[in-house]
Amino acid sequence: TEEFKILTRDVAKNQFSWDLRNFPEDDNYQLKLEATDATSPAVKIIDFSVDHTAPELSLNPLTSNVFTKSFSLQLTGSAFDNFSGIEFIEYSLDGEHWFKGTIESGFLANSATFRIRHPFKLDDGIYDIGVRSVDASDNTSASKYQRIIVDTTSPRIGSFVISRGNLSLLPMEGIFNLPAATEMNFVVSLEADTVSAMLKVGKIEYTLRKRSGVNLWETSFGTTENGLNSIQITATDVLG
């Protein structure tokens, strides 16, 4: 004979809640509802389970966490639950907004594999990708994180100045008229993550040096050849 513990009686409202935190985990619980009106009683029995244990998650590491070309984010892994089964996988790019992953096998089972495919290209930046699993009893695992760095753009090159002593030279219709056999100073603004830079004047290359505390790079060069020469600036950031 089934034994039922009375939770409440003579309920006046059509809603009732009770605390399951002290109930042992089991999938053989039953809730018995009894009601009666002036003529006849009614009985309904509902089966339910109690699961307090959060699932666990294993995230497969990426072969590389630095991306210098446009790519689509994909992650894979496994989730484990000892009782009610894995119901869904979530991931987040910022720790605030969560999206659903795909359970490839083991839906509502004790062991599941999953795949995450983010539908949009990621902008340049540093991301701590959080992944978590949720079981059928709404228990949520601890999040696992994978840090990735996306840098698909070259360092931006800003304005530059060519000078001799205290005199700055200005171009005429895009052309600098420089005196021959004269040492000139060159200063250019480069993006903060620049680690090296070169200046090429005609066929000769000069290494640019960064000024301390600012994003200005400078060098000096000599005008040795008469005629029209091109100026080329090359900058490399921390990711190459």
What pLDDT does 38 receive?
67
Which of helix, strand or coil describes residue 47? strand
The burial of 133, by beta-carbon neighbours within 10 Å (0-12 exposed, 13-18 middle, 19 or more buried), is given as buried
Residue 189: exposed, middle, or buried by beta-carbon count in 10 A (0-12, 13-18, 19+)?
A: middle
Distance CA 49, CA 122 (A): 41
pLDDT value at 68 more than 50:
yes
**Residue 1 pLDDT class (50, 70, 90 cuts):** very low
What is the tens place of the pLDDT at every residue in 147-194?
Answer: 998 888 888 889 988 888 888 877 777 778 777 778 889 999 998 888
Asked if residue 217 lies in contact with residue 208, where contact means CB atoms within 8 angstroms, the answer is yes
Query: What does each C-alpha distance from 49 to 5, 24, 27, 28, 52 come to in angstroms?
Result: 16, 10, 4, 6, 10
Predicted confidence (pLDDT) at residue 138 exceeds the cutoff of 80: yes
CA–CA gap between residue 157 and residue 166 (Å, rounded): 23
Mean pLDDT of 109-138: 93
Q: Are strands 183-190 and 216-222 parallel, antiparallel or unpaired?
A: antiparallel
Q: What is the spatial distance between Cα 117 and Cα 82, in angstroms, rounded to a whole number? A: 27
How far apart are the C-alpha atoms of 55 and 79, rounded to whole Å? 7
Q: Which amino acid, residue 136?
A: A
Q: What percent of the chain has pLDDT over 70?
A: 98
Out of 59-63, 70-74, 117-121, pick the least confident. Answer: 70-74
